[in-house]
Structure 1
């Protein structure tokens, strides 16, 4: 596992086009792009001054200089993992559907569930593990699983949220429905083999409209029960990259993490996965907007704060 996550990917910007950002072993920085097209990016401070939600708690908690680790939640009882992202030093955002596979009804999560990345400055002890303290599942998850497929996981001990350069390992929460970047960044695990760690990579993918997404889903030969209400306005869709025919396709066995975007030197989480679509004639993946759940997320992550 350590080999897969040895080198941290620094997500500071998004390259235009549908290219693969790179394997975990490569490094990616905002400097790669801002020196080429500085007009495309602007400071977070200017963004916040004009931000209609600038007084929101999630916006005030945002650290403008951050970078993201590939992060997984494991169980000592099951052979699965759930992709996640830090949204505070002690809170992770992840998939409620995935956690259901890990969590047994008769066991407390702290007895067998933990989060892990391979970085000593983040996870100080026990070989990089941070054990789960509590799980909060969205209250509407039971009624409409895919449309409310989101959970907040609290850790028993917080991580060190800054490195020696002052950069935060915590993603900011995007507070608007409208995005300011036409591209999104998706971390995915693929090439699952028995007794082996899956491969990981960051993908730079184009966002498409709700109409385009619905047209693509209309190609399904079998309906997806979890998306029986179609694509809603609180959802986002990305299209498969068409620049490299050797890419793992969306329909192949794979596991998506949260959907990210960048503004200046800041990484934001904008979407959470809904459900895996395994028909290879369909080239989209559907995510739920984080902004749609933001009131609930703020209440869980920062209780009692306004």
Structure 2
């Protein structure tokens, strides 16, 4: 569209709520501001061409060209001393933890870009499936679940990292069905590095948590789940999500499933598990959930998958990671790794502070290809 002669310069990119995610770019395609007061000028560049934006959890978006994200990249004169100075994204009180702040920023971003609505085929856009390559052909078999918690990190259970001496090689995101193509096109991402919690012991279910760093950032349409910040849970129903078995020792479901569960106190949960399974008893870093009526529960194939809670119409919070169970719908509740107990470890890897020491990965899969 040509600018009429003598007309004022085009305003910054518009994000109208009524256009269901369409962002109308500025006519110059290059000028932008990093702050709401328009005191920090920048230019719109491809995300991968802006090193400063790559360090931010959620950089300021100018517009999209298909799946290419253009972000506001600071000029040398306007670059702040650190990357914590970003455009204000919420009117809510500031959250102290980095993971909480990222959650606030990303939820505002999604509300601005896509109207804050999850599509029919992506009720759980953060759901991940971990894939292993067959020993006999190039087929991929999905054996565990996970949760997208940052544009290039997936959280899962540590016991999912090793199946018969093999590590997962692929993470599938955005697919509601693992075998049938739908209009919710899945995204496959290779795993770059694996971080297993240093306190994990494969002989017990304690510290059963691991991080997978992906080779590339996922597209903005895949929305990470927020991390629940408090040791106490809100009085809300919990939901377990996964592609697991729909009956004990049964076939896996290719369709993404969900089940409503209730939080069960650790004291009540202890009676279902022996000292052999939990030598130190049920720890504070674990959370128990299930349906004592036996009508519903997660199954063994849901290992590593999310236990989530929803406080409003749009925000999902990751409460737990499926860790230990005794079957499906037979009464005993399942045990989940309590995410809030591991925020320091998670943040030190995904959003490290300058004073943090570098956390070496347990496996660096870049040498595997």
Band the TM-score falls in, shorter-chain normalisation: 0.5 to 0.7
Aligned 8 A contact 1:238 1:284 in 2: yes
Distance 1:141 1:207 in 2: 24
SS at match of 1:277: coil
SS at match of 1:148: coil
Aligned length: 234
2:207 paired residue number: 148
Change (3 A) 1:300 1:145: farther
Superposed CA offset, 1:94-148 (max 9, x none): 01101111763xxxx6xx60111355xxxxxx97311000000000013774111
Q: Which entry has the higher C-alpha Rg, 1 or 2?
A: 2
Report the secondary structure of 2:284's partner residue.
coil
For residues 1-306 of structure 1, the aligned pairs below 5 Å read 49=93, 54-62=95-103, 63-64=106-107, 68-69=124-125, 70-77=127-134, 79-101=141-163, 104=166, 113-118=169-174, 128-142=187-201, 145-161=204-220, 163=221, 169-188=223-242, 189-191=244-246, 197-215=253-271, 217=272, 223=274, 225-240=276-291, 242=293, 247=295, 250=298, 254-256=301-303, 257-264=305-312, 265-278=314-327, 282-304=331-353
* SS of corresponding position for 2:163: helix
Does the CA-based 8 Å contact 1:75-1:102 persist in structure 2?
Answer: no
Secondary structure of 2:217's counterpart equals coil
The answer (yes or no) to whether the contact 1:82–1:99 under 8 Å persists in 2 is: no
Give the structure-2-normalised TM-score.
Answer: 0.55
| 1:90 to partner: Cα distance | 0.2
Q: Which runs of 5+ in 1 are unaligned?
A: 1-44, 120-125
Change (3 A) 1:103 1:89: farther
Q: Deviations over 1:26-75 (max 9, x none)?
A: xxxxxxxxxxxxxxxxxxx78x63x8xx2111111103357633320101
Unaligned regions of 5+ residues in structure 2, if any? 1-89, 119-123, 136-140, 176-184, 356-369
Residue 230 of structure 1: CA displacement? 1.5
RMSD: 3.4
**Structure 1 residues 129 and 231, CA, compared in 2 at 3 Å: closer, same or farther?**
same
Cα displacement (A) at 1:177:
0.4
User: Which structure has more RCO (C-alpha within 8 Å, separation ≥ 6)?
Assistant: 1
